[in-house]
Structure 1
Amino acid sequence: MNKKVINYFLIGITLIINILTIQDSKASHVKGGWIGYEFKGPGTRLNTSKYSVTTYLYIDCHNENGFRDFVVLGIFDGQTKQQVFIDSVYITDLKPLKKNSFSVCINNPPEVCYNVYSYTTTVELENNYGGYNINVQLRARVANIVNIINSENTGISLFAQIPKDSYYNNSSPKFKFLDTVAICHNSVVDIPFSATDDDGDSLSYDFGPGLDATTYNDGYAIQMPIAPPYRQLDYAQDYSGFKPMGNSIVVDPQTGHISGLAPDKIGEYVIAVYVKEWRNGVLIDSTKKELQIDVTNCQLATANLNPTYINCTDYSFTFKNNFTTNDNLIYQWSFGDAPDNTIQSTDANPKHDYLDTGVYILKLKLGKALECLDSTTAIVKVYPGFFPYFKTENFCVTNPTNFIDSSYLKIGKITSWLWNFGDGITSTQRNTTHQYSQAGLYNTQLTIESDKGCIDSISNSVNIIDKIQLRLPFTDTLICNKDSITLSAAQIDNVVYNWTNETLQLNNFANTESIRVLPKKNTTYQIIGADSNCKDTAYVHVNVLSDVTIDAPDIEMCEGDSVQIFTTSPALVYNWTKVAGSDSLNDYKIPNPSTKITGNNIYALTAAYGTCTNTKEIHVYASPYPIVNAGIDTSICQDQSYQLTGNTDATNYQWKNGPNQYNYTVKPSVTTSYIFLGSNPNNYCKKTVADTIRIKVIRKIQVNIGKDTSLVFGQPITFTPNVIDSTVPIHYYWTPNKYLNIDTIKNPTAIIPKGIESIVYSLTAISAGNCLATDQIVLKVFQSNPDIFVPSAFSPNHDGKNDILRPIPLGLKKLDIFEVFNRWGERIYFTNVIGEGWDGTLNNKVQPSGSTFIYHIRATDYNNKIIDKKGTTVIIQ
């Protein structure tokens, strides 16, 4: 293995290690770059040359991740494409490029800033016959570049060429660093992509395709260089490498300046300019500079008008500059109908009315202070009184339709006509005919143009029919036999009408859409309308009335009610009059008036249809409602009865769901309403009147003072009766009232003196509905001090007698301990609740008869003194 191969192998291993250590954000902020080289003279070896090669990378100023300390530079034989050099080239220089000042002509100026990194190395190459290709590749670009498809998945490939043959002693063109240009959307641009050449060679410039990174190591910004050809970027629709910003941008082939009108769409665009180096007319090399240009929403102050303005309707115009900004620009308008250079308006969007017809020169000059001065002119044509109009005749599909131009113009003459018949057929004749193939609604249009440049259109809908559609205001009517009537159909152009009745042709009314007739009996008239072969037939039925009938019966009703008088009549005119009574109708001109009746009334109705009339009287009879009284609402206690007593002047009466009598005894279990009904079927007012009485049933009151109890004399006892009632309040009465603190409350306190061995207290509770209940309690009064007793024996045989060993308290406040032990000292029962006791069982087994047990009891009396006792008890079966 020779030394050269070993060196490239070691370099490759080093490059791979370097690339693996700089995995980053895919170089998404590399904006562009180019490669340049400079011939330094002969190399150290025979037939070699030495070159200084520099790669320039444009990085977004605000992207710290965009910085990389080296690139991988590859050089390939131009003929064999064999790699002759590859190495990591580290950064040697940094040049900030930032636009710090902007013209006042720019509104909303953008930030333009790059950091240009230089990577320079020296290489020694053999002088060969194929030249060399130099390449650096990086990934990837930013997303959403306007003119590139899926730009986030693309990279950039930079290249330069060292000439072949005898041109090896060449230095490449050097692009100037004039890249800080603000580009405003939809505005004029001038981007300098020019270069210089140290050898004095001629340079030419052209757009070309931007180049993608050919290799793809996803996740690594640095890509391995390769020999050409290089992958081209995929451009979006309407863009290409030769039209990177659309059709409005060009590059000057001699200067490299990019000019034209920037696109309206805001965003980044990839531009690649190829500079070709010519020596004595021979193309010796090509170098590419590629840069992502940012089109922003800034605006330039530019004067721009339409080439021509024309008004063919009136004398009024409103002008505006086609390129507008939000800056406070100065506008100077001259409308051409004043002396030269006269400023007629300084508004941004002036309105101007010309006094006469003619052609005028419009001038606009704008600026901002003494800068941004720009001006332009336009032609204004004033030719008012230009109105297109046309008429149509013959709409039957079997015949041609006539189109007649009736347009009007005040100045000049009409020079062209264009008819559009709505079915795809057109004509340029002034007046024309058109045969439609089928019936339907067609949107027709006439466009005319005058010799003054006026152009306007008018559209009309033309309904082509295959039959006449007669339209009659009515097809069935009624008249008096003394009257005449006009029959008519809506007029339709070019239609001939023919009327007939059931027996004869009405010759006196031929070819007219309207006739007047005086039939004496029911008659049907026929009308036929015809336009060539398009026809239609319609009928009118005339019913003849010899008399006006009125159907309106008399009315019987109750005083105070409202009534509507319903009449049936063919009449068209109604006139009511009040003959008798005091109740007025709501309307005396309608067939069915209404009123509120207070007594008997008589009304007369005169009904008319044409000259036929009739009159009829309608009687309204009224009597008062019957008086019905069921009684006043009341309350009763549960299980009580109540006698209902009704009262009425009606002849018919009864309790609903009850007897036909005034008095009715009921015993409801719940609150119930009872309805008393009355009516007078022989009077004018036959309605039934109802009255209701509500009987509220009050639930029984329940009183329970509690169980009889015992105590010692002088011991206070407070009664706590349980009272259940659905009403409030409740009244309480205790008897006797001896020894009670209060005898009219629910919870009085009694203190029984010595000497009274027992006493019975009664409590009577009365509810709000006067329902009452009574209960008693017996107090046994011991004539001793407070104490507690435990039986010495008990018999737990479930006979209901002395089954439980239960302490007997006298004057106690509370029970602290009651516990029972067997003879081995084991506690077998415990409680601290007064009234509870032991049932004689241990582990659910009744203890044998004759067994002796020890008890211990401790309690607190009502004086808060402790009573503590111990003793024995025996089970006796």
Structure 2
Amino acid sequence: MRGKIIVAISAFLLLCTSNAAGQNLIADPGFEIWDGNQGFSPFTLAPLTYWYTANGTADHHHVDIMSGSNLTGLEPCPLGEGNTWCGYPYEGGGVLGCWKGNGPDGSKEWAGTQLLEPLVPGDCYEISFWIQNKKDNPNSLYETNHWGVFFSQTQFPTFNANLADFSTMADHWVTCEQVIGGSEWQQVTFAYTASEDFQYMYIGYMGNVANSTFTAANDDYLLGFYVWIDQVIVEHVDVDVPPTQTICRGDGVQLDFTSNYPLSWTDGIVTDTTRSIWVSPEVTTTYYVEATGNMGCTKLDSVIVEVLQPVMVDYPAIVCPATEPFRLEPEAPAGTWTGAGIIDAAAGLFDPSLTGPGLAEALFTAADDCADDFTMLIEVAPIPEVTITTDLSEGCWPLTVTFTDESPNPAEAYTWDFGDGETSQDAGSVQHTFTNAGAYGLGLTLTHFPNCTVSYEQVNEIRVYEPPVAAFSYTPEKPDLINNEVQFTDISSGNTYQWSWDFGDLSGSSHPTPLHTYATPGAYQVRLRVTSEGHCVDSIQQTLLVDNAVRMYIPNAFSPNDDGRNDRFQVGYIGQLMEYQMTVFNRWGGLVFQSDDPLLGWDGKAHNGQLAETGVYTYIIEYLLLPATPTGEEVREKEMGDVLLLK
């Protein structure tokens, strides 16, 4: 018989190692457990086993301690007289006495205890204690509210409890709103939702004085409020449920729920308060169980009854109709396979060629346990289409091209054939550099999964061109400012069709044989950039030196007769002159004229201002040629000759 062994599990069995839902987390709620000795101020709580002084000097009173002091024992006394040292506990023999000084900075007396277990963040706790106002004399009445508890991670407060702003710690404490007046014992109750996993609790006056309601006789700062506290209870509203239960279809299981509080459960359809139920759902169902406390706290928990259905599993790989038959799950237990494509029911042998592309479904039924049943989904993909992209389709060698497989189903293995004798097994994307001109077709073999292989081929996909080699010549070989017109000629190799010249003087040309004139001497960086077939580019740069040069035009005669023609002996020139000086001598070697301005010629007059005699005069012209480059040398030139003065 197929199935699972079903066991009825009760949540009660789970309580052996934890506190029962609703157990008091205060180890000594009535301040009864002590060593029998009388404690003395300020350590009156020292004899207690579970309680200690958390702030101030809280008091322990007990019927077995000698009476007569508000720090020691108890005895009968009339109510309504403001006696803090006599009276009887609400229950048992012990009681806690707590003081709150009058005024905004009045001291607080707190007792502290470690909880039996840390609080559960987010869970609700029901808190109560009995309290009696001991300052009940109508003629000197002190009564107030805000007696409560404070939860902490530390044994003692890490702040000044007397002066702290409690509004900043609102998630740590709860306090009563009613004024604790009169003379009788009163019970205060709270519902508190834990914000942290607190381990300690303090009890006494809580909160900010500014928010309290109180009566203080004569508003005497030397006096204050005093109460007795007894039977402190902190209960966790909780419910225990069984762990997740797993059953086969058609089976059932017993669920037992445990709580010290009233509870109800629901599966979303049925709602009941029965604490033990037998369920047999058809599908996996969650049963929600809620315990409700006496002070408004609730705790919701749940248990899942999992009904085993044949689980859906995916075959871990994609196959295609070309894949050879294969076993779906070699590790499956004994059982039977059914469904399209199954050619061996016992072995689970599947042939995808029988199903074609699509989602095939094969059901495995285990021979023994329904938990082992499952349905396997096999994705039979069509023969994959292949999309290969390239970032470049042509260019100059060396040409590096990136080939990328952008198919929707990437392959597991690749073999790239670049058509130039080189191959690669890189996956998905590959780079290859072509080093020779030509047209290359790409071949690609893709193995998507075992026995599912496709081939891809492109013809003349990549065209690789021979790059040009830039070169140029120019004439004259040594230009200067006299011969400053330079003829450039492109002598690049390759099928060039575009030229870009930069003559080095902020001018250029796009002509293959440009003619360019240089206006100043210097060393010019001439650059030629050529473009050939396939947008292949190369460039070359040469240094062209244009030397400085001067050509003089010196007349051999002049007639200073003021007829407007040849009235001056003046030099004409081409080029750049520096440190120019012209000197004219008569035939006896006497100086008759001198000038350092080439634009200022000799007007034929002697030093006395009279026109010089007709005859031949000798001139000397000196000047400096600057170098074409900063590193060149200066050259000093001299021109000498005769000039005839006519009248």
TM-score range, shorter chain: 0.3 to 0.5
TM-score, normalised to structure 2, is 0.35
TM-score, normalised to structure 1, is 0.27
